[in-house]
Chains A and B, each alone.
Chain A
Amino acid sequence: MLIVNILLVVMIYPMIGLMYYFGVRETGVKGKPTVVGVTLPEAYRQEPEVKEIVADYKRSLRRWMLLAALLPALFAWMPWVSFFMAGYMLWVFGAIAMVAIPFARAHRQLRSLKLVKGWFPKGEEGAVLSEGSVYVDLATAASPTRMVRPWLLILLCALSALPVLYEWFAGPVPELRHENSIIPFSFACVTFVLAPLIVWMDQEKAEILSRNSAVNANFERSKKRQRGMVYIGILILNTVTVWLMELFIHHLLGGMTGFAVWMVIYTVVICAAALRCEFRVIKLRAKLRCDENGTPYYVDDDEHWLLGVIYCNPHDKHFIVEKRSLGYGTTINVGSRAGKIFTVIFAVMILFCVIALPIWIGLEEFTPISAGITDDGLKVSQALTDHEIPFSEMEEVELLSFLPEMSRKNGTGLPELLKGKFEVDGEGRADVCLNPKNQLFLRITDKDGGLYFFSGNTDEETRALYAAVTERVE
């Protein structure tokens, strides 16, 4: 268990490293129009007050990142899955907040300073541009670049839906059709969600890097071509994964082992492709902004960026906009209607991960198995699950002193609880509710061919149950 915990923790460290990298990029690197999320022309970046804020931000960022890196020491050693998960989820989301804390403080300080000093970018004829103005390059707006073909996305959505529909209506194991549909469906959902996001991404507002419209148009074309290729590639990989899931869950292509190997390949390929694409976009953007052929242009829309990272502009109808600070790629406009819906969904997901998930796992982990005899049958309960088998339905009852090899199809797999539907070696599918650390287990078959493996909370309970059940069945 400790090894699994450590693996899960180690997986997050590259993310912390990446966040530190993006945090450092906020200190006024060349080619980036903002410093700690504040639009600040190069001319003002050498002012002593700015240097002081940036130096303080760097020190603070290092301290917070070190704290984020050390936090797993508080929970990684915990043998209880629910406690570990609670700590882990708080850490994953907390680490993001930890970068945001020094950033938000520095952002507020620098923005106030900018407003007091009037350090605004200069527009045409040296006129000071007011914060919150709207900028549009007429040339790129007249010929918007569109790289995504909607028919391809529709095709991929349809291809992702096919295995799910097949499994739901005509899966090879009729009694497990709905359960077996869950995994392909969850991957198909990635296609269904990503496809419209790609369309929105393709329709995002053109960036203005330079007064030269040709520079802006070339950048838009290049950025959208790269993103289109990579994200559609990811969508194709995901569609292939939906089809492969259908094979894995029916024990083809290596079953669960094949699934695990594919998941590693899937994750690595997606992360590498997305990172490579976005880093190329960042590099190209910086290069073109610094290019002597174009004069850098500052789009000062600071007043629409809450704390410098959350874009909220109800007047902007775009749902997806380019991310400006602390990261790469795109972000959502929480001021738009779709943005508000997305924010609520995202908040619910975070609450689920941080609060509901650990509580649910805790309920599974710490509720003992309750097994007993009722007037007409055997009842085994644990947390929200109940099994009741009437004596009249029982065909055979055995007391096993070992647990046969079994793999989980759905349900719970904790060190002290196996619950749900399992595939038992040489015996087929079974309903299971037992403590695998016990030594004694009940094996029951019913007249309809159903197979059950149960245990009491202790071996003594299991032995007593066996005696009571055999007496009634005989």
Chain B
Amino acid sequence: MILSLDLKSDIPIYQQIYDQILQGIASGALEPGEKLPTVRALAGETGVNSMTVNKAYQLLKADGYIFTDRRNGATVSDSFPGADCLSDVDEQQLSMIISRASLSGIGKGRFLKLCADMYDRLSSGEGSE
């Protein structure tokens, strides 16, 4: 999987790392048990501060998407938390997106179709290989 960080973006870099790794796991580009670069290696390759990479890894670890150990660095988890339900934070974000879609004049049917298409694309790995 190729990580691309837009250093000029308003989205914080740690958030970009978090989002892309999460999308990679969701799409299957990153498989359970796959090794991720160490904090130092990823910081070296991207040129961003190792604290920034560490923050993204800590968030991924706290959310249960990766686990770390001293010898092997970071690894994608085999099982993911929160089956069958979204976290409170995710539900809040989803409600914001629905509100924006509604205000933009996107009807429920079209919105659900957009969601379905995106869901299929991400699950099939087309989105972020």
* Residues of A near any B CB (own CB < 8 A): 123-125, 129-130, 132-139, 141-144, 205-206, 208, 211-213, 297, 313, 315-318
5 further A-B pairs in the complex, CB-CB below 8 A; given A124-B4, A133-B4, A134-B47: A133-B7, A136-B2, A141-B37, A212-B129, A213-B1
Measured CA separation A205–B21 after assembly (Å): 20
Measured CA separation A375–B52 after assembly (Å): 79
Is the pair B5, A138 in contact by a Cβ cutoff of 8 Å?
no
Residue of B nearest to A297 (CB): B2
Measured CA separation A205–B37 after assembly (Å): 13
- Bitwise, B110-122 to A at CB < 8 A (1) or not (0) is 0000000000010
Given contact pairs A137-B1, A211-B129, A142 touches B35 in the complex (Cβ within 8 A): yes
- Bitwise, B33-49 to A at CB < 8 A (1) or not (0) is 01111100110111110
Query: 8 shortest A-B CB distances, which residue pairs?
Result: A141-B37, A315-B47, A142-B37, A134-B5, A142-B35, A136-B45, A124-B128, A316-B47
Contacts of B32 in A (CB 8 A): none
Measured CA separation A205–B48 after assembly (Å): 14
Which of chain B's residues 35-91 have a Cβ closer than 8 Å to chain A? 35-38, 41-42, 44-48, 73
Q: How far is the CB of A124 from chain B (nearest CB, A)?
A: 5
Is the pair B4, A123 in contact by a Cβ cutoff of 8 Å?
yes
Measured CA separation A142–B24 after assembly (Å): 15
Contacts of B38 in A (CB 8 A): 142
Q: List 23 A-B contacts (CB under 8 A).
A: A124-B127, A124-B128, A129-B6, A130-B8, A133-B4, A135-B2, A136-B37, A136-B45, A138-B2, A138-B3, A138-B37, A138-B42, A139-B34, A141-B37, A144-B41, A206-B45, A213-B1, A213-B2, A297-B2, A313-B47, A315-B47, A317-B47, A318-B44
Contacts of A206 in B (CB 8 A): 45
- Bitwise, B97-129 to A at CB < 8 A (1) or not (0) is 000000000000000000000000100000111
Contact pick for B4, options A134, A141, A142, CB 8 Å: A134
On chain B, which size bracket covers the interface? Answer: 20 to 34
Is the pair B1, A139 in contact by a Cβ cutoff of 8 Å?
yes
Contacts of B5 in A (CB 8 A): 133-136
Query: How many pairs, one residue from A and one from B, have CB atoms within 8 Å of each other in the complex?
Result: 80
Q: How far is the CB of B90 from chain A (nearest CB, A)?
A: 20
Measured CA separation A277–B112 after assembly (Å): 55
Is the pair B42, A141 in contact by a Cβ cutoff of 8 Å?
yes
Measured CA separation A297–B4 after assembly (Å): 12
Is the pair B45, A205 in contact by a Cβ cutoff of 8 Å?
yes
Q: How far is the CB of A35 from chain B (nearest CB, A)?
A: 22
Q: How far is the CB of A322 from chain B (nearest CB, A)?
A: 14
Is the pair A135, B1 in contact by a Cβ cutoff of 8 Å?
no
Given contact pairs A130-B8, A134-B7, A141 touches B45 in the complex (Cβ within 8 A): yes
Contacts of B36 in A (CB 8 A): 138, 142
Measured CA separation A388–B41 after assembly (Å): 64
Residue of A124, A125, A129, A316 most packed against chain B (CB within 10 A) = A124
